[in-house]
Amino acid sequence: MAEPARIELIVGGQKSGKSRLAEQRASAWLAAAPDRQALLLATGLPSDAEMRQRIAQHQRDRAERLPGMRTLEEPYELAAALRRASAADALVVVDCLTLWLTQALLPPPGVKPVADAAAIRADLCATLQGLPGPVVLVGNEIGLGVIPMGAHVRHFVDELGLLNQAVAALAERVTLMVAGCPLQIKGVCA
């Protein structure tokens, strides 16, 4: 298997296989050399019972498939966490951009929403360009349906589209997952 892209974006719908492909990238990275590391930067918040169960299932599945992968949970300060975690010998998987942006723009009660989505997008992109190691970012492609009725949801969908575009512009490889099948959108196939 070829070396991973320095920056890869994997997008798709819910349960399309995005996380599984990112884990495969991490597994290949770890298998290529004994001194390599892989880290999952998880952005999800356990906001309700179903989400807590979903996160726990992901953790169990990942531990079984990738016992050598560490996990760091960071739902808010993604760029700062990437700067701390990245190293030349470490592949970082971010799962997922959509949850991170959701928490920034539509946070849980008691957390102030981010006032400037463009600023956090720019900070993330500048951070990605300066990282010493490879990063695989997972996110949802949600702008394929009807225009949402509510202004907050329309704003979120617009901002996620802009975030995906900005990260894709920096990425060496962009993969769209459809029903478990990867479709290479940009870059060399791996």
43 is in an annotated binding site: yes
161 is in an annotated binding site: no
Closest CA to 70 of 57, 59, 78: 59
Q: Domains plus CATH for the chain? A: 7-180 (3.40.50.300)
The single residue of 6, 20, 58, 155 carrying the catalytic annotation is 58
Angle, CA of 171, 14 and 75, to the nearest 5°:
65
pLDDT, block means (10 residues), the chain with 190 residues = 82 93 94 94 88 86 84 94 96 96 90 91 97 97 80 89 97 96 83
Amino acid (1-letter code) at residue 155? H
DSSP states of 22-39? HHHHHHHHHHH-TT-EEE
Angle, CA of 108, 109 and 110, to the nearest 5°:
115
* pLDDT at residue number 1: 47
Q: Could you confirm whether 58 is annotated as catalytic?
A: yes
Which residues are registered as beta bridge partners of 93? 40, 136
13 is in an annotated binding site: yes
Task: Please tell me the pTM assigned to this model.
Answer: 0.92
112 is in an annotated binding site: no
Amino acid (1-letter code) at residue 93? V
